[in-house]
Amino acid sequence: MQQTKIAGTGHYVPDNVVTNNDLSQLMDTNDEWIQERTGIVERRWIQPGSGDSPSTMGTKAALKAIEKAGIDKTEIDFIIFATLSPDYYFPGPGVMVQEQLGLDTVPALDIRNQCSGFIYGLSVADQFIKTGTYNNILLIGSENHSGGLDKTTRGRGVSVIFGDGAGAVILQPAQSGTEGILTTHLHSEGKHAKELALIGPNTEHWVDKILEEKNPEDTSYYPYMNGNFVFKHAVTRFQEVINEALKAVGLNSSDIDLLIPHQANLRISQYIQKKMELSSSQIFNNIQKYGNTTAASIPIALSEAVEEGKLKQGDLLCLAAFGSGFTWGSALIRW
């Protein structure tokens, strides 16, 4: 079977920069507290009225990836869209991108695996390319976190972490057997689902009940994260799934030219770097500028890494993610 290569990358982030000092005007926090715990200096939040949304940001990132791939948008034959923050409860944003790009009945698949969504989408796309089902797959990760955060002192443990943005790639059959996706690995552990979750609203607690209760103390409509619990599991699963991928192809961590981890927390990335004995040149982080953009974090970072010349032909690229679900995954790619 043929291998799958990343033919083009692109990303888009809102113009509105929100610094840690800006957040200190909204809640009891400060720059030192945020940087010490997360490594984040600033993030992008959608400005109300700007027209930015998960689908429109995804489309903007997609157009850049299409241009980099050197194809016409009409050559896209499948769309995969990963997000936890769709424009609407339904339908998903994949079909909205299809319409915004002006594509004719191209199928669209929505992925709901949160921080691991891009890796899950990459693995799905890889199977379609390998079997010859599709030849130009558009894979997008895009998030609008800022619209659903508790921007008060009560919610600061979560709200200071997350940002908005989108990243996209075009996936095609590789022209040679020496390039492309070598292996992908996916996992989940649902018993920890509520440790990082947004419980309401849901179909058992819908608009009628929400309006009836009008309870300002009800925090179920905001994201919840058991930070220490998530951190401990993340650092373990990251290492496991990266080593699983390396073992599958008979390589070692020293063979990695660039690791792009999901940008969950700079302290997690630094811990993984140390444990796997990777140099600073072997890992790429941009959470300092964008915060955690969930499904968008890896494709945004990948797009920036490409723009900065961090990858050259023949390099071994490792992508890895861990997040809500719990779900986690990895991919090894020969660039």
Environment class of 150 (CB within 10 Å of its CB; exposed 0-12, middle 13-18, buried 19+): middle
Q: Are residues 233 and 212 in the same domain?
A: yes
Task: Tell me the CATH number at 119.
Answer: 3.40.47.10
Q: Are residues 14 and 138 in the same domain?
A: yes
Q: Cα(299)–Cα(140) distance, rounded to whole angstroms?
A: 8
Domain boundary among 150, 173, 196: 173
Number of domains in the chain: 2
Q: Are residues 190 and 112 in the same domain?
A: no
The residue from 11, 233, 262, 318 that is catalytic is 262
Pick from 148, 137, 162, 5: which is nearest to 81 by CA? 137
**Which pLDDT score is estimated for 186?**
98
Q: Are 167 and 138 in contact (CB under 8 A)?
A: no
Q: Cα(164)–Cα(83) distance, rounded to whole angstroms?
A: 11
Q: Are residues 20 and 85 in the same domain?
A: yes
Q: Are residues 227 and 155 in the same domain?
A: no
**Which pLDDT score is estimated for 121?**
98
Q: Are residues 142 and 187 in the same domain?
A: no
Q: Is 262 a catalytic residue?
A: yes
**Which pLDDT score is estimated for 72?**
98
Q: Are residues 169 and 192 in the same domain?
A: no
**Tokens in use for 268?**
């997690």
- Residue given tokens 């769309």 in the structure block: 79
Secondary structure letter of residue 120 according to DSSP: H
**Which pLDDT score is estimated for 166?**
98
Task: Dump the DSSP string for 168-182.
Answer: EEEEEE-SSTTSEEE
Q: Are residues 167 and 189 in the same domain?
A: no
The domain of 326 spans 180-334
Q: Cα(295)–Cα(84) distance, rounded to whole angstroms?
A: 8
Q: For 42-54, b where at least 16 C-beta lie within 10 A, e where not — what string?
A: bbbbbeeeeebbb
pTM above 0.85, yes or no: yes
The residue from 113, 285, 292, 318 that is catalytic is 292
Secondary structure letter of residue 29 according to DSSP: -
The residue from 115, 145, 286, 318 that is catalytic is 115
**Which pLDDT score is estimated for 212?**
76
Task: Dump the DSSP string for 43-93.
Answer: EE-PPTTS---HHHHHHHHHHHHHHHHT--GGG--EEEEE-SS-SSSSS-H
Q: Is 185 a catalytic residue?
A: no
Domain boundary among 173, 197, 230: 173
Q: Are residues 197 and 265 in the same domain?
A: yes
- Residue given tokens 């982080």 in the structure block: 285
Environment class of 280 (CB within 10 Å of its CB; exposed 0-12, middle 13-18, buried 19+): exposed
CA 197 to the chain's CA centroid = 16
Domain boundary among 173, 195, 219: 173
Asked if residue 299 has a cis previous peptide bond (ω within 30° of 0), the answer is no
Helices 266-275 and 227-248: angle between axes, nearest 10 degrees: 40
Q: Are residues 14 and 142 in the same domain?
A: yes
Q: Is 11 a catalytic residue?
A: no
Q: Are residues 153 and 9 in the same domain?
A: yes
Q: Are residues 71 and 167 in the same domain?
A: yes
Q: Cα(92)–Cα(97) distance, rounded to whole angstroms?
A: 10
Q: What is the mean pLDDT of each run of 10 residues along the chain (335 residues)?
A: 94 98 97 96 97 98 98 98 96 98 98 97 98 98 96 95 98 91 98 92 77 76 88 94 98 97 97 96 98 98 98 97 97 98
